[in-house]
Amino acid sequence: MFGKKKDEQPTPNTAAASTDGENKNYAKPDSAPTAPSRPAMNPDIARRSPDMSAFAPRPSGGAASAPRAPEAEQKKLIVGRDIFLNGEIRTCDSLVVEGKVEAVLSDCRAMDIAQSGEFKGSAEIESADISGRFDGDLVVRSRLTIRATGKVLGKIRYGQLEVERGGVISGTIEALADGAPVTSGNGR
């Protein structure tokens, strides 16, 4: 066509149009073939496994082990605001009540009822700090603290008692004798 002789054959590296339906190659005639734009995957490189040491169990005891925070081992149950829990609670180190609980609480060390919290039922624990409301049978072997906003109603037995000004305690109240075993109404 434009400036070509009719008897010349088109070369595969030219940008001229072919008339016989061949594939067109638009590459520059002087350019060499290039390597692929991304490197090929090397199958000889082993994949690194993820670091799971944060989830591994820690060694117990011994001088070589790092000291652990005491709260890391605690079994703590927190009943948040606007949560209602009904049933039996056993073997927890600490119970924090910010919502409403109707339960039988046993084998627990400490109970903390927040100002917004309510507990109905029976509890046998080591120590209690009450800023909300407790209604039922309460046995505190060590120290019972009733804050200014706290109300404790029902049958209460305690080792030591502390009531802030404004705190309410009402019902059958009995101090535990030192060293006397606790006998509760549930056969324990």
What is the tally of structural domains in the chain? 1
Reported as a single tens digit per residue, the pLDDT across 141-176 is 999 999 999 999 999 999 999 999 999 999 999 998
- For residue 156, being part of any structural domain is answered with yes
- For residue 41, being part of any structural domain is answered with no
pLDDT band at residue 2 using 50, 70 and 90 as cut-offs = low
> How many Cβ atoms sit within 10 Å of the Cβ of residue 121?
19
- For residue 36, being part of any structural domain is answered with no
Reported as a single tens digit per residue, the pLDDT across 128-144 is 999 999 999 999 999 99
Reported as a single tens digit per residue, the pLDDT across 83-116 is 999 999 988 899 999 999 999 998 889 999 999 9
Which amino acid is present at 36? P
Name the strand (E) or helix (H) holding 77.
strand 76-79
The residues, ordered by sequence, that sit 6+ positions from 77 with a Cβ below 8 Å of its Cβ are 89, 92, 94, 95, 96
- For residue 186, being part of any structural domain is answered with no
- For residue 91, being part of any structural domain is answered with yes
Q: How far is CA 39 from the centre of its chain?
A: 42
Q: Which domain range does residue 99 map to?
A: 71-175
Q: Which two tokens stand for residue 106?
A: 């046993």
